[in-house]
Amino acid sequence: MSQRLALVAAIALALLAIPATSPAQALPPEAQELVAEMQEIEGQLAPIQHLAMQDSVIQLHQDAVTDAVRKAMVAADSANAQKLERFDAILAEAEAAEQAGDTATVVALTAEVRELQPQLMAAQQNVMAQPEVEARMTAYFDAVEAKMIELDPNARALIDRLHELNEQVTAILGAPPS
């Protein structure tokens, strides 16, 4: 399940991310202020989102996104099937090693994940715009947002403000909106 959460978290960051800047490229002061407000709002929304994520319907949407992304990754390159299988195996092995107190194995598996993860992230990024994946992600985010608002009606205003700030930052940086 932790692998699924990591994948969904990566998807969420990709969709509602501030446009990427290189380390040498500092954000303009007006963008920094907006980003600070975004972080504050994200902090306010985090506990509500966490509760929403516990809902069984939300978990079904999450599973559908994960499955769509994995299938698209494998369809794009059959080598991704082996990489995904190994990634799943590493997670299971690392959990067992951690429970057994086998630090050396955990360290070795962590190194292997560090090599494998960029390849999987690149493969994931390459399939994000596919219609099936996009449709599943949209349904998922709509469901999460609706559940958050159901749990706390004040979340609507925070979510709207977060989207507004994201658009403003995007405009300042001259990147297409995410």
pLDDT of residue 2: 40
Mean pLDDT value across residues 121-126: 92
Domain ranges of the chain: 28-173
Residue 87 near residue 120 (C-beta atoms within 8 A): yes
CB count in 10 Å sphere of residue 9? 10
Q: pTM here?
A: 0.69
pLDDT of residue 129: 87
- Token digits of residue 19: 């446009």
Mean pLDDT value across residues 25-54: 90
Residue 168: pLDDT over 80: yes
Q: How many whole angstroms separate alpha carbon 50 and alpha carbon 68? A: 23
